[in-house]
């Protein structure tokens, strides 16, 4: 939570979400432009620096009292950590505030005298019959949102409050979190049995490294895949393969930083850029990691320990 007694160097607002199946901000903001501007103007009064708004390239977002910076590319281009790293990196001792433009709209409504926490989210995933946008309230049950819109199947399904990379396994009776912009339903995979498992040639298996016959025959480029929540293997020694760097668009060495956090080497953590990252920035690293490493959790724990160390 932001400390109201400390003035931030700058405030960063994310007006784009590149996470899987996330809502298009250009669609969500329609009809709420005044609320967004009202919220931005209020934020500008809280810092002596600037309010930076990260927007999708070509969005033509026009705002007063803020500098709009456009970003292009796949996830995690919409992560605030990535945007801070490319706009104005954070140094030791500096503090910035971050907020989603979805929440700035809510602020704008409140400043106009209307307390309304309704937000527009996406309801999606391979198990959803008709993917759609929905207006919901934080705390609303997933069952009430998905009623009649999930495939009737014999296998287990996973209900996620949030996106598949950073969301929570909430279950059908779970609720939408205050900061969730997506509700996702995918196969759980826990009750899936595969003959010979990993040793099969992999003619119908997704792999980020093009491993198996699917990669050999070029099927990855022409096929849409239905992914489940399985890790497909247990934790093992960290394999240094360079795959993390391919999905980590920041001027930081992710594997080296992870190791520094894991061993809690504060000097190395600081030298490698710990102050510039958030757990969500490592979500794709976790997805492509062949070692099944819980990267996001390790980074989160390291940041908590570091914060306590600095208090």
pLDDT in tens, 236-261: 888 888 899 999 999 999 999 999 99
d(CA 306, CA 135): 38
Does 5 fall in a domain?
A: no
Does 164 fall in a domain?
A: yes
**Residue 125 and residue 93 share a domain:** no
**Residue 137 and residue 59 share a domain:** no
Does 254 fall in a domain?
A: yes
**Residue 205 and residue 149 share a domain:** no
What percent of the chain is modeled with pLDDT above 70? 93
Domain boundary among 77, 111, 145: 111
Does 2 fall in a domain?
A: no
Does 94 fall in a domain?
A: yes
Instruction: Provide the domain count of the chain.
Output: 3
**Residue 223 and residue 129 share a domain:** no
**Residue 50 and residue 106 share a domain:** yes
* Per-residue pLDDT, 202: 66
Domain boundary among 55, 83, 111: 111
Band (pLDDT 50/70/90 cuts) for residue 297 is very high
Tokens 């309801």 sit on residue: 123
Q: What is the mean pLDDT of the chain?
A: 91
Does 6 fall in a domain?
A: no
**Residue 206 and residue 183 share a domain:** no
Q: Which residues contact 262 (CB under 8 A, 6 or more apart)?
A: 298, 302
**Residue 31 and residue 60 share a domain:** yes
Does 95 fall in a domain?
A: yes
pLDDT above 90 (res 210): no
Please give the average per-residue pLDDT across 171-192, as a whole number.
Answer: 94
* Per-residue pLDDT, 98: 97
**Residue 36 and residue 91 share a domain:** yes
Does 302 fall in a domain?
A: yes
**Residue 278 and residue 243 share a domain:** yes
**Residue 71 and residue 19 share a domain:** yes
* Per-residue pLDDT, 246: 93
**Residue 176 and residue 89 share a domain:** no
Backbone angles phi, psi at 135, to 5 degrees: -95, 120
Band (pLDDT 50/70/90 cuts) for residue 219 is low
The torsion angle over the Cα atoms of residues 88, 94, 95 and 96, rounded to 10 degrees, is: -10
Range of the domain at 124: 119-187
Please give the average per-residue pLDDT across 37-53, as a whole number.
Answer: 97
Band (pLDDT 50/70/90 cuts) for residue 224 is confident
In this predicted model, which residue has the larger pLDDT, 42 or 60? 42
**Residue 306 and residue 231 share a domain:** yes
pTM, two decimals, is 0.91
Please give the average per-residue pLDDT across 22-38, as a whole number.
Answer: 96
């Amino acid at each position: 939570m932001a400390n109201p007694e400390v003035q931030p160097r700058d405030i960063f607002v994310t007006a784009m979400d590149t996470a899987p199946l996330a809502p298009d901000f250009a669609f969500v903001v329609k009809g709420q432009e005044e609320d967004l501007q009202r919220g931005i103007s209020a934020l500008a009064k809280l810092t002596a620096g600037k309010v930076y708004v990260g927007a999708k390239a070509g969005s033509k977002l026009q705002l007063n009292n803020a500098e709009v910076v456009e970003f292009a590319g796949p996830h995690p281009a919409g992560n605030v950590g990535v945007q801070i790293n490319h706009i104005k990196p954070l140094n030791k001792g500096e503090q910035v505030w971050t907020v989603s433009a979805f929440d700035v709209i809510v602020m704008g409504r409140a400043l106009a005298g209307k307390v309304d926490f309704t937000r527009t989210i996406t309801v999606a995933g391979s198990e959803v019959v008709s993917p759609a946008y929905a207006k919901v309230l934080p705390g609303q049950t997933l069952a009430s949102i998905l009623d009649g819109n999930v495939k009737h199947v014999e296998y287990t399904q996973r209900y996620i409050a949030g996106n598949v990379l950073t969301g929570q396994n909430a279950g059908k009776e779970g609720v939408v979190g205050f900061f969730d912009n997506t509700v996702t339903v995918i196969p759980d995979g826990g009750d899936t049995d595969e003959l010979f498992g990993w040793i099969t040639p992999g003619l119908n298996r997704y792999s980020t490294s093009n491993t198996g016959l699917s990669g050999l025959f070029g099927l990855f480029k022409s096929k849409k895949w239905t992914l489940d929540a399985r890790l497909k293997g247990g934790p093992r020694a960290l394999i240094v393969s360079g795959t993390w760097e391919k999905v980590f668009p920041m001027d930081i060495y992710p594997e080296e930083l992870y190791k520094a956090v894991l061993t809690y080497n504060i000097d190395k953590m600081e030298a490698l850029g710990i102050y510039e990252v958030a757990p969500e920035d490592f979500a794709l690293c976790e997805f492509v990691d062949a070692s099944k490493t819980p990267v996001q959790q390790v980074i989160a724990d390291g940041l908590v320990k570091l914060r306590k160390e600095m208090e």
